[in-house]
Structure 1
């Protein structure tokens, strides 16, 4: 042993005696109880395919940890899936579940004073929830991406969960037969794992690697593949050495690490949700990093090097075969901070030394990008004093400046009714508000449904959409500005917009403005009253009353001194 372990107590003391009594009953002898103790964080669930394979993965991971001379202790957390857990309370459980996972981990790992942890990452909210816990507790931690699902075919064409999501809202507007939607839904998912496109889950898996919190070359990966299982075993051995070396998350989660992760997401037009999730990790780790400012500053100088679905036509399988995140970082190397430390104990430069790009058409070099303009743009203006995010994709837009009259909605149902009854017309700006972290609460997925319904009605390229809600990481349709902040429910400018007001979105100047005089805005602000919110008890009420704004990552606490600091 190279250093004392916090999990060990003086032989014969109260804590030594009662812990040994418990662990002897689990089959551990006294010598085992002196070894490094590793939490295996397993967000397993039979509710969704995203998590259904994790128990099998955990078996191999625990065997690798034991072989490396440590003792694994498997712990469980909440396991939210947007497509399953999003049914209750109009999707309000989704973002709040992320922070619940963080606190689940704190209770189990910090309460037991375990020496390190290794996290089986899967669906959208489990990855940031686990990363946030790593940053908060600051004990040696390694992320293990557990792969994407296989897609299927329907009537001779590729079909995946994104197609089903889009198709469902097309069926709502009558532009797709229900029977076709049913057929697609039965073929879209052919294995365990996360959504197969570059949505939030695969984007966050790549964030783990780009931050240096996952082994290089481990993302993205097909679920249950030989490659994934080899990475799992390698991670089991590596976490034990990280504990012995006392290599902690805050040694890795530096400003340079976040810069690298932002570059990676910009270079593939990844999920907008990575912005708030990375900001939450930065806040929990007390790093002082402003992730929103990094996206704003780096957007114009980061070329798009790969067009993976939904922003392009490349598949995630082709991206993995081309070398995945490691190959992407190799192409981006001149723009990265390559001297930063990673979970390997080496720098990014060392990790990339022998990296190979297997297909430079799928992952392009910097001097031959897929798109000349950024795929993600952060907007500011009098409608978005803090920020608004837009995923422009890789198709160059002829119209870079859009002005139109507002039509405002407070609920998803009202907005969809507005599509059906013709109130939403070409040329307008649809304002979908009350969908933020407090107004939702927890940013339920209603905004995405409105976007897809508008697309299904044939209006996707004829209107613009503004929302203080979030979008599914699979959304890349039309001119849609999401997560406009401050949110309407807290009196942000979006709450003051009235039907008919002119709104301008300018992608070149990166502005989002309401064409109303400051005097009129001040009058509206003076008479504004906070809207009556839907009643929620239990966890949702706790979340609403304690959540911080998006600029702070929508974390629950004010980043006081963390337990593991």
Structure 2
């Protein structure tokens, strides 16, 4: 059924691995479960930010997809620093560092437990590239899926995002609005789970993940609270297991041409300039020489899409 060597057999097969199997059985796995490939399902769920607070629930849908496709899912999580909440104080020094910690921690979990494939679920600025970098570094069959963006808040018939709260602070300091008006905007702008509502780093990297081929088509756009998102995550779990069957790995997908697609998307949507440093880091993981000249060469050919 599977064309590649199944690394997880190193952990669960043979007399010497009886203690390992005993520990898995403590978690409810059967001998049938242990006979199947293991697919890691990693998420960056936490209560540090609305971007990630719903990801543990989405992970359950990914696990369902993995099971239905004939493999055994193993869930784990890693950190995610919120740029939005770390912003404006000492905490921001932790932001970019967290990308490396995320990539390293995912790599360590997969290598330590010999998982055969990886589903990565992330929802905020540094967790998306960190997860993608781990996939590239490990080079096992992998699919990324975005947790989705937040829905806008509605106040007096007007849509609001977190950007409106920042602007309202300035308006209050300038004497243009009252404290009560500022509080109403604060209380309304972020109504539920999801990443910051704008073409910032998270939405940029989610869009890029599609055109690079490491996420399912159409998986970036639906908001976190959209009814389609659970289906997307479920299908991602199935797709990851199918890649394992076909022995298709990130290095087969992340070619120089896929990085050109990513740069094209970055420019076309007017994406975050952080996309540049994240794509350079991702290219480094697969041994592709990507330079600022490539970004400029493609930029000169493009128009920005506007709505």
Task: Indicate the TM-score class for this superposition, using the shorter chain for normalisation.
Answer: over 0.9
Task: Give the corresponding residue for 1:98.
Answer: 99
Task: Give the corresponding residue for 1:293.
Answer: 293
Of structures 1 and 2, the one with the larger relative CO (CA 8 A, separation 6+) is 2
The 5 Å alignment of 1:161-176 reads 161-172=162-173, 176=177
Q: Secondary structure at the match of 1:31?
A: helix
Q: How far did 1:170 drift?
A: 4.5
CA-to-partner distance for each residue in 1:405-455, whole Å, 9 max, x for gaps? xxxxxxxxxxxxxxxxxxxxxxxxxxxxxxxxxxxxxxxxxxxxxxxxxxx
Query: Higher strand share goes to which structure?
Result: 1
**Partners of 1:5 and 1:236 in 2: CA distance:** 17
User: Retained in 2: the 8 A contact 1:210–1:260?
Assistant: yes
**Partners of 2:288 and 2:177 in 1: CA distance:** 48
CA gap of 1:90–1:12, structure 2 versus 1, over 3 A, is closer
Task: Give the corresponding residue for 1:145.
Answer: 146
Task: Give the corresponding residue for 2:59.
Answer: 58
Task: Give the corresponding residue for 2:276.
Answer: 275
CA-to-partner distance for each residue in 1:470-494, whole Å, 9 max, x for gaps? xxxxxxxxxxxxxxxxxxxxxxxxx
Tell me how large the CA RMSD over aligned residues is.
1.8
CA gap of 1:31–1:156, structure 2 versus 1, over 3 A, is closer
Q: How far did 1:163 drift?
A: 1.3
Task: Give the corresponding residue for 2:108.
Answer: 107
Query: Higher helix share goes to which structure?
Result: 2
**Gapped runs of 5+ residues in structure 2?**
none
Task: Give the corresponding residue for 1:227.
Answer: 228
The 5 Å alignment of 1:91-490 reads 91-172=92-173, 176-290=177-291, 292-304=292-304, 306-307=305-306, 314=307
CA gap of 1:287–1:86, structure 2 versus 1, over 3 A, is same
CA-to-partner distance for each residue in 1:256-278, whole Å, 9 max, x for gaps? 00000111111111111111011
Q: How far did 1:88 drift?
A: 5.6
CA-to-partner distance for each residue in 1:214-272, whole Å, 9 max, x for gaps? 01121211113222222112111111111121111111111100000111111111111
**Partners of 2:170 and 2:274 in 1: CA distance:** 21
**Partners of 1:111 and 1:168 in 2: CA distance:** 47
Q: How far did 1:80 drift?
A: 1.5
**Partners of 2:273 and 2:182 in 1: CA distance:** 27
Match of 2:13 among 11, 14, 33: 11
**Partners of 1:188 and 1:283 in 2: CA distance:** 38
TM-score (norm 1): 0.52
**Partners of 1:286 and 1:168 in 2: CA distance:** 45
User: Retained in 2: the 8 A contact 1:86–1:93?
Assistant: no
Q: Secondary structure at the match of 2:40?
A: strand
User: Retained in 2: the 8 A contact 1:121–1:205?
Assistant: no
**Partners of 1:254 and 1:176 in 2: CA distance:** 51
Q: How far did 1:84 drift?
A: 2.2
Q: Secondary structure at the match of 1:301?
A: coil
CA gap of 1:171–1:242, structure 2 versus 1, over 3 A, is same
**Gapped runs of 5+ residues in structure 1?**
308-313, 315-565
Q: How far did 1:196 drift?
A: 1.7
Q: How far did 1:165 drift?
A: 2.4
CA gap of 1:93–1:178, structure 2 versus 1, over 3 A, is farther
CA-to-partner distance for each residue in 1:308-337, whole Å, 9 max, x for gaps? xxxxxx4xxxxxxxxxxxxxxxxxxxxxxx
Q: How far did 1:174 drift?
A: 5.3
Q: How far did 1:301 drift?
A: 0.6
Q: Secondary structure at the match of 1:124?
A: coil
Q: How many residues are treated as equivalent by the alignment? A: 305
CA-to-partner distance for each residue in 1:341-362, whole Å, 9 max, x for gaps? xxxxxxxxxxxxxxxxxxxxxx
Q: How far did 1:285 drift?
A: 1.7
User: Retained in 1: the 8 A contact 2:40–2:75?
Assistant: yes
Moved more, 109-118 or 81-90: 81-90
CA gap of 1:90–1:191, structure 2 versus 1, over 3 A, is closer
**Partners of 1:279 and 1:169 in 2: CA distance:** 35
**Partners of 1:169 and 1:136 in 2: CA distance:** 43
Q: How far did 1:171 drift?
A: 4.0
Q: Secondary structure at the match of 2:289?
A: coil
Q: How far did 1:86 drift?
A: 3.7
Q: How far did 1:47 drift?
A: 2.2
CA gap of 1:293–1:181, structure 2 versus 1, over 3 A, is farther
Q: How far did 1:131 drift?
A: 0.6
CA gap of 1:259–1:43, structure 2 versus 1, over 3 A, is same
TM-score (norm 2): 0.93
Q: How far did 1:298 drift?
A: 1.0
CA gap of 1:87–1:110, structure 2 versus 1, over 3 A, is farther
**Partners of 2:170 and 2:108 in 1: CA distance:** 40
